[in-house]
Amino acid sequence: MGRFLNPDNSAFQVALNSKIYIDKTGLIACMNDVLDSTDGYICNSRPRRFGKSYAANMLAAYYSKGADSEEMFFDLEIGKTEDFKKHLNKYDVIHIDVQWFLTNCEEAENVVAYITRIVLDELREIYPEILSEDVRSLPDGLSRVKDKTGQKFIIIIDEWDVLIRDESANKKVQDEYIRFLRSMFKGTEPTKYIQLAYLTGILPIKKERTQSALNNFREYSMLNAGPLASYIGFTEEEVKELCEEYKKDFSEVKRWYDGYQLGKYHVYNPNAVVNLMTDGNFQSYWSGTASYDSIVPLINMDFDGLKTAIIEMLSGAAVEVDVASFQNDIANIVNKDDVLTYLIHMGYLGYSGASRRAFVPNEEIRQELIRATRRKRWNEMLLFQQESELLLDATLDMDGEAVAERIEKIHEEYASTIQYNNENSLSSVLALAYLSAMQYYFKPVRELPTGRGFADFVFIPKPEYKSDYPALVVELKWNKSAVSALQQIKDRKYPDSIQDYTGDILLVGINYSKKDKKHECVIKAYKKK
């Protein structure tokens, strides 16, 4: 039993001792299915506070020869599987937290050497006859042990990408580290001594040109979680059960912390949910993480269309993003799509693989991004919010002329990248224009199905503002008239579907004339039946 070779199960016991524990031992069964195969090379990346270290500690506790974990796992999901005891505490496990090694090194250049020396020293304690002092390479040491004993290894690396992120400008450190990982995991010889390789961090494996530096690894991330989706964060069913136990309003929890779409699962930020259940406050729990400071310079990058995209997403829209070009490091960020992809990996944006669009997943993240945009160089965001607030005030005052003027100004000054050519572009501008409404209203519903068609935009006030803010039913027209837009709302009875969810309702008809490039707006109060 050592610190890094064949550790005990005490780290995972801490998780089991927690007030809230959600059973994710099904991940172990997934790993058991790929042991000693070409599929047994896994990189499972996820944002901070999404249970990366918890999962790594759990795997080490289950597989390590240095632990006796039958009682620990017996009543959990993995304990009910046929292969539970077959693999339980049967392997030499190397469990490395690269963040710990970096923190305890005076220089980042020494991390690889430090890992090598410490782990080899522990290997020599177990296999002194095999590993002489002449053996100075960790892969060489593992190969020699396998050759003499037949023993294969399970290698678990937590925070695998910390050198990629924290030493992004140090190419020498990164190159040495990638060479170290390649020598450990890639090629014919590693297949002889690797039973399972499990890497976890925020980023997928760094790319070299278009290929992964470790292209024998299966990569599961916030872009594509594959069969591991339910083990990244809390699922909706798990959160519902917690809400029942702790007497929390599930719909409000969903609004604040849901929004990550991983396959068929809606995934919640586990750190936020646990804090909410134990502390009882709906608020952002991201500010205390190290990742917050790192996003400010990212969103300040002056890439074409970046700020417009972020403002669009803050307004409730989703934006297209090409995730393929991102090199999985910070040093090679070269365009807007790279920034957005990095924000997806960090958990600050959600992503739909089906539509290839990014979006702000929930209220918690919306607040964090707004906080970040208020930092230096985002004065335009403050000015935009002011304009948006004036637009909302004009709408609530039923001043159609003022609304038309404000939408026109916002389009000209703040949404210059959106070119007017059809009704869809008008919708994009409208989503931007009503950004300030997000403080008082839920995310606007686009194309709300009604009894006789689809309303273009519906803003439903949050419960605490229901008595002070009316719902807004908005219909857009292109080269027609605002009056016809308003008439369509009435004829198709769009308000009928939301009467039970709100107090007063305003009907808003908006038209844009391509000929004279002018907007017009008509607003009427709806009389409930």
**Mean pLDDT computed over every residue of the chain:** 87
pLDDT of residue 482: 86
3-state SS class at 392: helix
In the 8-state DSSP scheme, what is residue 328? S
Q: Which residues, 6 or more positions from 334, have their beta carbon under 8 angstroms from its beta carbon? A: 325
The pairing of strands 471-478 and 505-513 is: parallel
Tens digits of residue pLDDT in 106-126 = 889 999 999 999 999 999 999
Tens digits of residue pLDDT in 12-40 = 999 999 999 999 999 999 999 999 999 99
Tens digits of residue pLDDT in 379-407 = 666 677 778 888 899 999 999 999 999 88
Based on C-alpha coordinates, what's the Rg of the chain? 27
Quote the percentage of the chain above a pLDDT of 70.
91
| pLDDT at residue 211 is higher than 70 | no
If we measure between CA atoms, which residue out of 281, 243, 462 comes closest to residue 364?
A: 281
Tens digits of residue pLDDT in 172-198 = 999 899 999 999 999 999 999 999 999
Q: How confident is the model at residue 157 (pLDDT cuts 50, 70, 90)?
A: very high
Give the whole-angstrom CA distance, residue 30 versus residue 457.
43
Do the Cβ atoms of 457 and 445 come closer than 8 Å? yes
Give the whole-angstrom CA distance, residue 173 versus residue 180.
11
In the 8-state DSSP scheme, what is residue 398? T
pLDDT of residue 289: 53
Q: How confident is the model at residue 225 (pLDDT cuts 50, 70, 90)?
A: very high
Q: How many helices (H) and strands (E) does the chain have?
A: 22, 18
Give the whole-angstrom CA distance, residue 86 versus residue 63.
10
Tens digits of residue pLDDT in 428-457 = 777 778 877 888 888 787 765 554 455 678
* Half-sphere exposure (Cβ direction) of 340: Cα atoms closer than 13 Å: 30
407: its two tokens: 């939408």
The CA–CA distances, whole Å, from 249 to 128, 427, 445 equal 59, 32, 21
* Phi, psi (degrees; rounded to nearest 5) at 337: -65, -35
The pairing of strands 207-208 and 260-262 is: unpaired
What's the farthest any 2 CA atoms get from each other in the chain?
90
Q: How confident is the model at residue 342 (pLDDT cuts 50, 70, 90)?
A: very high
Sign of CA dihedral 71, 75, 76, 80: positive
The pairing of strands 153-158 and 194-201 is: parallel
Coarse DSSP helix, strand, coil percentages of the chain, rounded to the nearest 5 percent: 45, 20, 35
Give the whole-angstrom CA distance, residue 138 versus residue 379.
52
From 1.10.3470, 3.40.50, 3.30.70, 2.60.290, which CATH number describes the 10-220 domain? 3.40.50
Sequence ranges of the domains in the chain? 10-220, 226-377, 379-526
pLDDT of residue 419: 57
